[in-house]
Structure 1
Amino acid sequence: MSVLADTVREVQTALGRGRVTSGTRTKFQATALLLRDERARVRAAEDIGDTRRTERLKRLDDLATSLARTAVREPALLALLSEDAVVSDEARTLEREMLARAGIETEPEPAPPVEEPDTAPAKPGVVPQSVVSRKLANPFLAPDFSAARPSAPRPTRLSGWELLGPLLRSFERAGDGASTSMALPEPGSLWVPGGRELMPHQARVVAAAAEGHRTFLLADEPGLGKTAQALLAAEASKAYPLLVVVPNVVKTNWVREAGLWSTRRKATAVQGNGESVDGFADIVVVNYEVLDRHRGWLADFGFRGMVVDEAHFIKNKGSQRSQHVLELSERIRSFAGRPLLMALTGTPLINDIEDFLAIWEFLGWIDEKKPLADLMDALTDTGLTPADPGFSTAARRCVVDLGIVRRRKVDVAADIPDRRIADLPVELDGATGRSIRAAERDLAQRMVIRYRDALAARGSGPAEGIDHDLVRRVATWEQKDAAGSSSGDNVFGMMRRIGQAKASLAADYAAQLARSAGKVVFFAKHVDVMDAAEETFAKQGVRYSSIRGDQTPNVRQRNIDAFVEDPDVAVVVCSLTAAGVGINLQVASNVVLAELPWTAAEQTQAIDRSHRIGQSEPVTAWRIIAAQTIDARIAGLIDDKAGLAAVALDGSEEEVGSSADAQHAALVALLTEALAADVAA
Structure 2
Amino acid sequence: MVRSTATPTRSRSPRKGAFDNTGLIPVLARAVREVETSASRGPVSPSGRTKFQVIALLVREERARAKTDPELGEEARAETLKRLDGVATILAKTAARDTSLITLLEPGHAQTDGARTLRRRMLQEAGYEVPAEEEQAAPAVADPFAERQVTPVSVRARQLANPFLPPDFGIGRQPHLTRRLANWELLGPLFKAFETGGGGVTSMELPDAPAKPRWAPAGSELMHHQAEFIEAVARGHRTFLLADEPGLGKTAQSLIAASVADAFPLLAVVPNVVKMNWAREVQRWIPNRTATVIHGDGADLDAFADVVIVNYEVLDRHSGWLKTLGFKGMVVDEAHFIKNHSAQRSKLVLSLAAALRERRSDPLLMALTGTPVINSTEDFKAIWQFLGWIDETKPLPELMARLEETGLSPAEPGFLAEARQAVIDLGFVRRRKIDVAADLPAKRVVDLPVELDDEAGRSIQKAERELQQRLVQRYRSLAAGRKPETFDQKMQLVRLIAQQELEESRSATTGENIFTMIRKIGSAKAALAADYATQLARSTGKVVFFAKHIDVMDQAEGLFARRDIKSVSIRGDQTAAARERAVDSFLHDKKTKAIVCSLSAAGVGINLQVASNVVLAELSWTAAEQQQAIDRTHRIGQSEPVTAWRIIAAHTIDARIAELVDSKASLAARALDGDDSEVAQETSVQLDALVNILKDALKL
- What is the TM-score of this pair, normalised by structure 1? 0.48
Q: Tell me: higher relative CO, structure 1 or 2? Use CA pairs within 8 A at least 6 residues apart.
A: 2
